[in-house]
Amino acid sequence: MSHPDQKRAFGVAAGLPAEVCAPLARTCEETGYSSIWSNDHPGAKGLDTLAEFAGVTEKIELGVAVIALDRHDPKTIAADIERTGLDPARLWIGVGAGFNKKPLTFMKEQLPELRERLPGIRLVLAAMGPKMCAFAGASFDGVFFNWMTPDFAASARENVENGAAAAGVESPPVFGYVRTAIGSDSTERLAKEESFYRDLHKGYRDHFDRLDEPEGTVGVAASDRDDAQTKLGSFSGLDVVVVRGLASAKAEPMTELARSASP
């Protein structure tokens, strides 16, 4: 079961049409989600999607997870935040190494400039392996997991906490995308999404090898709301379960999924 203080958030792919962003963001704020997140990819900037969410909401926090620093440097991120007019106080900025061949070294090199360019903004590090998790725990304001089972997330959390303890700091909150599909085609939706990531790059290949789980099983494929709530509640290693909605990019199916998976 989830721990009592656990929060629920909602996540989407960047570039979601404005006519979907508005009702979805309002639904998430009304139904008790603590934050709403967008990824970032070569075809669309996550910060632009957050700007759509920000325009129709008042308090819900906004996060992007994650911006690959091999594509966007800290200066560019700062400029995009200023361009979109996003309130830094509502923001969580997630960053990752992307396709860099030495991800841990690269992220350690990038951190000072991130802090300089993004003062006062909460920084979250995408982490999977034990060394990156420990670094995140020691040096960032949050940690973001992706494609993990409940047991693996709990184990990875221990690496975060160990890193924080070694640095003498409080362990930061742990977020995690949990791909979630609800309905008769939920199994197929989850399997299709997962198959793309399994061979995306070496980091993901190594990660799925460590998971050693059958294809199409890493996430939540639920028959209805009750089934979804039970399965989402099993991710006790996360402080914030970020429901990554697997539904058609239209207002009705996305908002329906958000309501079914809401806290």
DSSP string, 228-250: HHHHHTT-TT-SEEEEEE-S-SS
Q: Cβ atoms within 10 A of the Cβ of 230, count?
A: 12
Report yes or no on 37 lying in a domain.
Answer: yes
The whole-angstrom separation of Cα 174 and Cα 145 is 7
The whole-angstrom separation of Cα 134 and Cα 127 is 9
Domain extent, residue 17, equals: 7-260
Report yes or no on 66 lying in a domain.
Answer: yes
| DSSP tally for the chain: helices H, then strands E | 10, 9
Q: What is the CATH number of the domain that holds 45?
A: 3.20.20.30
Report yes or no on 211 lying in a domain.
Answer: yes
| Structure tokens belonging to residue 221 | 């494929």
Report yes or no on 1 lying in a domain.
Answer: no
Report yes or no on 134 lying in a domain.
Answer: yes
Residue 1 has pLDDT above 50, yes or no: no
pLDDT digits (tens, 9 = 90+) for 168-215: 999 999 999 999 999 999 999 999 999 999 988 888 899 999 999 999
Q: Which residues pair with 178 in a beta bridge?
A: 243
Residue 263 has pLDDT above 90, yes or no: yes
pLDDT digits (tens, 9 = 90+) for 132-170: 999 999 999 999 999 999 999 999 999 999 999 999 999
pLDDT digits (tens, 9 = 90+) for 103-129: 999 999 999 999 999 999 999 999 999
Amino acid identity of 158? E
Report yes or no on 255 lying in a domain.
Answer: yes
* pLDDT for residue 2: 46
Number of domains in the chain: 1
Q: Residues with Cβ < 8 Å from 5, sequence gap 6 or more?
A: 239
Report yes or no on 30 lying in a domain.
Answer: yes
pLDDT digits (tens, 9 = 90+) for 17-63: 999 999 999 999 999 999 999 999 999 999 999 999 999 999 999 99
Minimal CA–CA distance to 125: which of 155, 160, 149?
160
* pLDDT for residue 4: 64
pLDDT digits (tens, 9 = 90+) for 53-104: 999 999 999 999 999 999 999 999 999 999 999 999 999 999 999 999 999 9
The whole-angstrom separation of Cα 232 and Cα 242 is 10
